[in-house]
Chains A and B, each alone.
Chain A
């Protein structure tokens, strides 16, 4: 039996499980499988107690990164440090990292309680206190009443709670979650998002969460690392990603957006098909670029009179009534699509399909990204 000096043992007197959030650092971590590179030199730096989400389409390298943090894969190069300790080549069972798996991975032959006791018993905690602490963990996920059930006698959401309790019961400094809500339906997913956030805050561990669901990422995270083709495209807060995307991929992946191709002229003027803004990209190199517009910063008018900022002539190709706002899909004369969300209060009589309109936005609302 290993007698590792884990922080298993802290916080038991207070009647709460509590971990000391660990600092996680990835430096130039790279992994390839044969000829295909899954993760190109990724750098990440997590503060103790931070909730970081790795967001990206499938095959973008986020799960590979997670598996290197967990120790299931060894990076080809780069260093992983946890609380200042190099763990790049430490085997998974000596890392003291809690993990929640995509399909829960509860041991089918053990009851919920025994599943949660498992990591404590592996650490040589005696049966009695292991039991007490497992009960405490189940209480924190509000599942004490089902402790004796086998995994197959529990619903998806309940299994998810047991998996969560099992991952934090030994008070690890770092918790990893690999699309833990992927198998649940939408309503339950939303409940569990709140639940996971609450438990993680109570426990205090640093969290790395993997998902391909942008709403989940925006709701839960302190910061989000957006993955694409094995690179971290941008690492920022939800607000930063939405307001200041640095690549068209991020702009397209986070929230709705319209993209208009344009040219940056020397001096910073931006010229598109049927529109232009003066000197709005002064710090950019001249060349091809893309203008990103969030739908709520676009207004729709009957004509161009009184439009102070930028505007483009367009035709309404679709109108959707979405309760709080009206969603327009507009087609410019150059054939590009602009999306606009207009609050119901500002559009008492919405434009009909086929109407000729002007889409307008403030120059500072447009994000110009170089190709």
Chain B
């Protein structure tokens, strides 16, 4: 007997344990959402879909989901437009390009609470607190770095000759952007869009600062419900969101496979 199989087994075991550590806490919400016990986190013998009908029947959840969706779509659109243009400009290697690129990543490293306070102050002055527009603007700040990074990766692989060719064929800046640049960096744009959507959809800290009773997003509504009544409806919502994110992630993986 050689010692290699033992090492191989140990490595496998560690890998499996790490995998379980990563995924089990998330998967825990799935059985909780189908359990009859009305206290979140306690499992008994009955199984039910009651929490799902509660969830989908409650107008507060529906309103929050609608808000989240509008804000996430708005954020995706705005950050894609600004981020793709920014990545296009940065790809030209302008003098302060690297400085600007670095600065554009700031929202990722600044603590969200600080950003929340800052945005609250600014948006209060503009009278945009408690509005969907205000939250779209704030979430765009958070999503922009992800769009710039992923679209820039596509630009890094783009041969600049295509743009020159378009120029020589008579395309002005706008025509080049729409007809040549965007189609060629599309994989990065789509990936960036998914990142932007998820960033906004999951965001809670800035949203707590900027929403009021009528503009609560899903994470904010969850937070508020959690503090008042801990029912398995939350687990049902968690499971639904989990399913949605899984689909989004799979889509992203498929796109990446297409790219390579």
Hey, which bits of chain A sit against chain B, CB under 8 A?
2, 4, 70-72, 91-99, 101, 103, 105-109, 118-119, 122-123, 166-167, 170, 176
Chain A's closest residue to B182 (CB) is A109
From B164, B172, B179, contact of A105 by CB (8 A): B164
Residues of A within 8 A of B171 (CB): 93, 118, 122
Q: Assuming the A-B contacts A72-B164, A101-B164, A105-B165, are A93 and B172 also in contact, with contact meaning beta carbons closer than 8 angstroms in the complex? A: yes
Q: Looking at the complex, which one of A2, A92, A107 makes contact with B168 (CB distance below 8 Å)? A: A92
Question: Which DSSP category, helix, strand, loop or mixed, fits chain A's interface?
Answer: loop
Give the Cβ gap from B189 to chain A, nearest Cβ, in Å: 13
Q: Is the CB of A98 within 8 A of B168?
A: yes
Q: Which residues of A contact B4 (CB under 8 A)?
A: none
Contact across chains for B167 and A93 when beta carbons are under 8 A apart: yes
Whether, in the assembled complex, B115 has its beta carbon less than 8 Å from a beta carbon of chain A, the answer is no
Besides A119-B170, A122-B175, 10 other A-B contacts (C-beta < 8 A): A71-B167, A72-B164, A92-B167, A94-B170, A99-B165, A105-B162, A122-B166, A166-B169, A167-B168, A170-B169
Give which listed residue, A2, A71, A167, contacts B172 with CB less than 8 A.
A2
Instruction: Give the secondary structure class of B's interface.
Output: helix
Given the known interface contacts A70-B168, A98-B168, the answer about A118 and B184 at a Cβ–Cβ threshold of 8 Å is no
Q: Which 8 A-B pairs have the closest CB atoms?
A: A119-B169, A105-B165, A122-B170, A99-B168, A92-B167, A105-B161, A109-B183, A122-B171
Q: State which residues 179-204 of B face A: CB under 8 Å.
A: 179-180, 183-184
Is there an interface contact between B164 and A92, defined as CB atoms closer than 8 Å? yes
Q: A107-B162, A122-B175 are in contact. Are A97 and B168 (CB under 8 A)?
A: yes
What per-residue 1/0 map shows which CB atoms of B145-187 lie under 8 Å from chain A?
Answer: 0000000000000010110111111111001000110011000
Q: Check B170–A96 contact: CB distance below 8 A.
A: yes
Q: How far is the CA of A118 from the CA of B169 in the complex (A)?
A: 7
Closest A residue to B167 by beta carbon equals A92
Known: A92-B164, A118-B179. A108 touches B184 (CB 8 A): yes
Contact in complex: A123, B165 (CB < 8 Å): no
Bound-complex Cα distance A92 to B170 (A): 7
Provide the bound-state CA to CA distance between A360 and B136, in Å.
88
Residue contact B169 to A122, C-beta cutoff 8 Å: yes
Q: Could you say which of B165, B170, B179, B180 contacts A101, with CB atoms under 8 Å apart?
A: B165
| 5 A-B contacts (beta carbon < 8 Å) | A71-B167, A93-B168, A105-B161, A118-B179, A119-B170
- Give Cα A103 to B180, complex, Å: 17
What CA separation (Å) do A108 and B180 show in the bound complex? 9
| B residues less than 8 Å from A106 (CB atoms) | 165
A72 to B164, CA, bound (A): 8
A107-B164 contact given A96-B170, A123-B170, CB 8 Å threshold: no
Looking at A70, A106, A119, A176, the one whose CB has the most chain B CB atoms below 10 A away is A119
What's the Cα separation between A274 and B180 when bound, in Å? 66
A258 to chain B, nearest CB (A): 41
Chain A residues near B164 (CB-CB < 8 A):
72, 92, 101, 105
CB-based nearest A residue for B180: A107
CB distance from B7 to the nearest CB of A (A): 45
The minimal Cβ–Cβ distance linking B80 to chain A, given in whole angstroms, is 18
Q: Please give me the residue from chain B that is nearest to A176 by CB atom.
A: B168
Bound form: Cα–Cα A315–B159 in Å: 54
Residues of the A chain whose Cβ atoms lie less than 8 Å from the Cβ of B167 = 71-72, 91-93
Instruction: Write the nearest CB–CB distance from B177 to chain A, whole angstroms.
Output: 13
Which chain B positions have C-beta within 8 A of A123? 170
Chain A residues within 8 Å of B184, by CB: 107-109
- Closest residue of chain B to A96 (Cβ to Cβ) is B170
Task: Please measure, in the bound complex, the distance between the C-alpha atom of A71 and the C-alpha atom of B168, giving whole angstroms.
Answer: 8
Could you tell me the distance in whole angstroms from the C-beta of B173 to the nearest C-beta in chain A?
A: 8
Instruction: Judge whether B162 and A2 touch: CB under 8 Å.
Output: no
Minimum CB–CB distance from B154 to chain A (whole Å) comes to 13
With A118-B179, A122-B175 in contact, do A107 and B165 touch (Cβ < 8 Å)?
Answer: yes
Determine the chain B residues whose CB is within 8 A of the CB of A70 once the complex forms: 168
CA distance A2 to B162 in the complex (A): 20
Residues of chain B within 8 A of A119, CB atoms compared: 169-170
Q: Which of A94, A101, A170 has a CB less than 8 Å from the CB of B161?
A: A101
CB neighbours (8 Å) of B169 from chain A are: 93, 98, 118-119, 122, 166, 170
Task: Please name the residue on chain A nearest to B179 by beta carbon.
Answer: A118
A176 cross-chain contacts in B, Cβ below 8 A: 168
Max count, chain A CB within 10 A of own CB: residue among B161, B162, B165, B179: B165
For the complex, give the distance between the alpha carbons of A92 and B165 in Å.
10
User: Shortest Cβ distance from A5 into chain B, in angstroms?
Assistant: 13
For the complex, what is the distance from the CA of A119 to the CA of B165, rounded to whole Å? 10
State in angstroms the CA–CA spacing of A271 and B63 once bound together. 101
Task: Report Cα–Cα, A164/B166, bound state, in Å.
Answer: 14
Cα(A166)–Cα(B171), bound, Å:
13
Option from A72, A103, A109, A170 in Cβ contact (under 8 Å) with B170 = A170
Residue of B nearest to A116 (CB): B169
Chain A's closest residue to B174 (CB) is A1
Please name all residues of chain B whose beta carbon is closer than 8 Å to the beta carbon of A108 when the two chains form the complex.
162, 184
Within the complex, which residue of B159, B161, B165, B170 is in contact with A2, where a contact is CB–CB below 8 Å? B170
- B residues less than 8 Å from A109 (CB atoms): 183-184
Complexed CA–CA distance, A167 and B167 (Å): 12
CB distance from B129 to the nearest CB of A (A): 42
